[in-house]
């Protein structure tokens, strides 16, 4: 199977959806990424990445129930698909293999 390429930001968004589980929606994803990375984001950048990941079949989404805190509006909730989980596993294996390949003398300066 040929893996679809993910950029760093898409990878971070996909990981964040996995972290948040049943509470993965735009604002919560944005806040979690900001907390984890210290990087300020626009909600529109997160929504664009979520849309791309859904087009790549790595995420699925559904409309949650209306909530009073949102004035009766519903949240679009995201979840990682089987393909998204396999992709995250492949990325982790690749990164770990590459980190493990750094010669010991080079690792001192990292």
Structural contact between residues 60 and 79, judged by C-beta atoms closer than 8 angstroms: yes
> Can you give the pLDDT at residue 51?
97
Structural contact between residues 84 and 54, judged by C-beta atoms closer than 8 angstroms: no
State the CATH number of the domain containing residue 60. 1.10.10.10
Whole-number Cα distances in Å, 24 to 75, 78, 88, 98, 100: 9, 5, 17, 30, 32
The pTM of this model reads: 0.84
Q: Which domain, by its residues, includes 58?
A: 8-100
Task: Judge whether 58 lies within some domain.
Answer: yes
Task: Judge whether 31 lies within some domain.
Answer: yes
93-106 pLDDT tens trace: 999 999 999 888 76
Mean of all residue pLDDT scores within the chain: 89
Q: Report the alpha-carbon distance of residue 84 to residue 90 in Å, rounded.
A: 10
Q: Report the alpha-carbon distance of residue 51 to residue 56 in Å, rounded.
A: 9
Helix (H, G, I), strand (E, B) or coil at 26: helix
Which residues of the chain have a pLDDT value below 70? 1-4, 68, 70-71, 106-110
> Can you give the pLDDT at residue 3?
62
Task: Judge whether 36 lies within some domain.
Answer: yes
Which tokens belong to 34?
A: 């900001």
For the chain, how many structural domains are there in total? Answer: 1
CA angle (16 as vertex; 101, 4 as ends), nearest 5 = 60
Task: Judge whether 17 lies within some domain.
Answer: yes
């Amino acid at each position: 199977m040929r893996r679809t390429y993910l950029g760093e930001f898409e990878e971070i968004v996909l990981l964040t959806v996995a972290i948040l589980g049943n509470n993965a929606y735009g604002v919560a994803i944005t806040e979690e990424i900001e907390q984890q990375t210290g990087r300020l984001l626009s909600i529109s950048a997160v929504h664009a990445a979520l849309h791309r990941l859904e087009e790549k079949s790595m995420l699925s989404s559904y409309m949650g129930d209306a909530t009073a805190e949102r004035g009766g509006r519903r949240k679009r909730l995201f979840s990682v698909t089987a393909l998204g989980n396999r992709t995250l596993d492949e990325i982790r294996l690749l990164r770990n293999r590459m980190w493990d390949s750094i010669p010991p003398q080079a690792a001192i300066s990292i």
